[in-house]
Chains A and B, each alone.
With several copies, the nearest count.
Chain A
């Protein structure tokens, strides 16, 4: 019997746009990125983003098992998104559920246009995304970490893929929704973008948006992904990068 029950806060967003964690609508949460922290994996990255802590690692190019999955003209890109049992207040049963199967697919789809899979015919590239703490936005943190782990493993890529969510809470469009907003807000719209090309490779949404709201979400999401992309580039140059909460420059 679980002992933790989610409760909706009285006010999700103030009249002046103040959010439950004190941010204003266009503030991102603090992000910390560390690349190459694991030894056995070929590439790895740890992303701490608000209360999320996401570890991604890559093995490959390596041999494909089972053999019948081998693709003769390109690499087989596999990805597993997995939540730790202790990543949520109520323990999550180990093993894949339907949500994690979908997110594994969505994150893999987001990375695929970035990877030169045709350079590694007949091989496997395995990406593991482990959610060690979860606090809304794990899939976009996962894309961001996985993309860095691929780069750290030396896999040839067209560019980095950076992710971020935007959402709607009442009539406010907010960037990088937190747990309360994800749970009780109106819309969450996770995105990921392949830079420099600005190609959208991940896009989902789960609530009603008018044409105007949708266009605004797209615009802000693109801008957020770009900020995350700048951090990614920095992280590949240094041991690790860390930024405090910062406001989006496009508002």
Chain B
């Protein structure tokens, strides 16, 4: 199944959610625009170059960074290669099955990827060893461990933390074209910090950071990412429809909340 939308007897659930919303609260007690708690494990790690185990409410994700070197793409000889991948682990939900990535995980990967690229979050030119010949490859592998809703935001947040924690081994091109790996490390050049905000529309209510139940019965879903300067850097309308006014309102909310989220992440790095 590509999405979680049909997993719960959804008609009754929707009625219940709407009824509770009339009182101004959500079924888990949150206000419509309240996000769930974000927490990040402070663990040490020896295998990956950077890692973050993050909880958004009860959603759990783990992001790990791997590094490699190789040729740049011919049309961007001055940029490193950046590859994003999402695995919806079958242990994260009874609806996820083992196998090659499907539509849902590909969309998530591309939404996160676009947020970082569009915000120019990483200084790709700093990760060039020899222009046109040898550059770093950054693999951003995103693992969903426990799916309790709003994977897009959880994965974007965890990716940002993992990237900011990454130490890159210094590499030089040797005299015979060989690759020399130094024993020094430098921090991943993260120069902009996009934050992602997902909204759902249920009836006439606009809710931020949907829980699994809310996602399941949502009429419409949209994910926005905003950069350091409060500019919108990526949008993905993921289900249903929005009017232009609804989208402008979502953007406004994202701008209001971004500092709060960003400073929460700075704490844990």
Give A contacts to B, CB under 8 Å.
Answer: 1-7, 38-41, 44, 51, 55-57, 59, 62, 80, 82, 84-91, 94-95, 98-99, 101-102, 104-106, 109, 112-113, 126, 128, 130, 132-135, 187, 189, 194, 198-211, 214-215, 218-219, 222
Contact status of A59 and B244, CB under 8 A, knowing A85-B64, A205-B118: no
List B residues 99-119 near A (Cβ within 8 Å): 100-103, 106-107, 109-110, 114, 117-119
Question: Are the CB atoms of B47 and A208 closer together than 8 Å?
Answer: no
List B residues 205-251 near A (Cβ within 8 Å): 222, 227, 229-244, 247-248, 251
Is B146 an interface residue, CB under 8 A from the partner? yes
Question: Are the CB atoms of B241 and A113 closer together than 8 Å?
Answer: yes
List B residues 177-225 near A (Cβ within 8 Å): 179, 181, 222
Chain B residues lying within 8 Å of A128, measured Cβ to Cβ, are 89-91, 98
Q: How distant is the Cα of A55 from the Cα of B62 in the complex, in angstroms?
A: 12
Q: Chain B 38-73 against A: per-residue CB contact (8 Å), 1 yes, 0 no?
A: 000000011111010000001010101111111000
- Which of A84, A89, A104, A206 is the one whose CB lies under 8 Å from B103? A104
CB distance from A128 to the nearest CB of B (A): 4
Chain A residues lying within 8 Å of B51, measured Cβ to Cβ, are 86
Question: Are the CB atoms of A44 and B91 closer together than 8 Å?
Answer: yes
Question: Are the CB atoms of A203 and B235 closer together than 8 Å?
Answer: yes
Chain B residues lying within 8 Å of A202, measured Cβ to Cβ, are 237
For A134, the closest partner residue in chain B by CB is B47
Chain B residues with a Cβ closer than 8 Å to the other chain, count? 74
Interface-centre pick from B109, B119, B229, B240 (highest chain A CB count, 10 A): B240
Question: Are the CB atoms of A38 and B75 closer together than 8 Å?
Answer: no
- Which of B49, B118, B233, B241 is the one whose CB lies under 8 Å from A194? B241
- Which of B69, B92, B234 is the one whose CB lies under 8 Å from A205? B234
Is B141 an interface residue, CB under 8 A from the partner? yes
Question: Are the CB atoms of A86 and B91 closer together than 8 Å?
Answer: no
Chain B residues lying within 8 Å of A59, measured Cβ to Cβ, are 90-91, 94
CB distance from A132 to the nearest CB of B (A): 6
For B136, the closest partner residue in chain A by CB is A3
Q: How distant is the Cα of A203 from the Cα of B49 in the complex, in angstroms?
A: 34
Question: Are the CB atoms of B251 and A214 closer together than 8 Å?
Answer: yes
Chain A residues lying within 8 Å of B146, measured Cβ to Cβ, are 38-41
Question: Are the CB atoms of B237 and A109 closer together than 8 Å?
Answer: yes
CB distance from A178 to the nearest CB of B (A): 12
For A217, the closest partner residue in chain B by CB is B232
Give B contacts to A, CB under 8 Å.
Answer: 2, 45-49, 51, 58, 60, 62, 64-70, 74-75, 85, 87, 89-94, 98, 100-103, 106-107, 109-110, 114, 117-120, 139, 141, 143, 145-148, 169, 171, 179, 181, 222, 227, 229-244, 247-248, 251, 255
Q: How distant is the Cα of A122 from the Cα of B229 in the complex, in angstroms?
A: 49
Additional A-B contact list (10), CB under 8 Å, known A102-B106, A109-B238: A38-B92, A40-B93, A84-B143, A85-B141, A98-B101, A102-B110, A105-B2, A128-B89, A208-B233, A211-B230
Chain A residues lying within 8 Å of B235, measured Cβ to Cβ, are 189, 203-205
23 contacts between A and B (CB under 8 A): A3-B69, A4-B181, A39-B148, A40-B148, A41-B92, A56-B91, A84-B64, A85-B85, A86-B48, A86-B49, A87-B47, A88-B47, A95-B100, A98-B101, A98-B106, A105-B107, A109-B239, A203-B237, A204-B236, A207-B118, A208-B119, A209-B233, A214-B248
Question: Are the CB atoms of A101 and B103 closer together than 8 Å?
Answer: yes
Chain B residues lying within 8 Å of A84, measured Cβ to Cβ, are 62, 64, 87, 141, 143
Chain B residues lying within 8 Å of A87, measured Cβ to Cβ, are 47-48, 64
- Which of A3, A98, A205 is the one whose CB lies under 8 Å from B109? A98
- Which of A7, A204, A222 is the one whose CB lies under 8 Å from B244? A222
